[in-house]
A and B are shown apart, each in its own frame.
Chain A
Amino acid sequence: GEDVEQSLFLSVREGDSSVINCTYTDSSSTYLYWYKQEPGAGLQLLTYIFSNMDMKQDQRLTVLLNKKDKHLSLRIADTQTGDSAIYFCAESITPYNQGGKLIFGQGTELSVKP
């Protein structure tokens, strides 16, 4: 079945690292994405990882994938107050732009305190 789960809240201090976790159930998931949503706004694609990768780094963002445990994490280094938002994990069996729908988690609200 298709299901994505995330913890609902995370609070960190400015300058610390944030780690947002996600688990998914569909073993045929091929593409996994992280999106950011700020209040009153749409979704912004932050990064993605293919299922044949273990890790992907993009500036302050590091994505780790454990396929065996179906666990995905997003690490934000040197978290800033501007990183406060809701972060969504999403999975897709085929690429979104080749007909694949995205299955989203419930979102993790990240609060960054100065």
Chain B
Amino acid sequence: DAGVTQSPTHLIKTRGQQVTLRCSPKSGHDTVSWYQQALGQGPQFIFQYYEEEERQRGNFPDRFSGHQFPNYSSELNVNALLLGDSALYLCASSWDRGSASDTQYFGPGTRLTVL
């Protein structure tokens, strides 16, 4: 049973470009959240998707957008990349009707470097 998978593993872009990151949740999970982890910092919540809709959003500009597909996989899109967008982007999945005692799975992340 595969856990949370993310692609690509690493990505290098230049300022002003656009990027799409992908996440497949753990089997049986229907909720996907995205976090940005800058070097030396804790992860910061970007947004969460459930039933193909954005359910909650953190303090990130509109350049950050997402999508969830009927199979529960998700994409994170970032437009007009800035140097400060360089970070590890983490995807986490869970089952909406679960409880806090259920394990919340994080993927290995996508390392984005903006030059």
Contacts and interface: CB of A to CB of B under 8 A. Distances in A.
Interface in A75-114: 88, 90, 95-107
Contacts of B99: 95, 97
Interface string B24-64: 00000001010100001111110010100001101000000
A43 interface: yes
A43 B98 contact: no
A101 B45 contact: yes
B106 A42 contact: yes
A97 to B, nearest CB: 3
B45 A102 contact: yes
Contacts of B103: 45
Interface residues of A, number: 26
B42 A97 contact: no
Contact of A106 (B41, B95, B105): B41
A42 B108 contact: yes
A64 B107 CA distance: 28
Contacts of B108: 40-42
A43 B96 CA distance: 19
Contact of A48 (B4, B35, B58, B101): B101
Contacts of B104: 45, 96-97
A103 B40 CA distance: 15
B1 interface: no
A4 interface: yes
A66 interface: no
Contacts of B106: 35, 42-45
A97 B101 contact: no
B90 A42 contact: yes
A105 B55 CA distance: 23
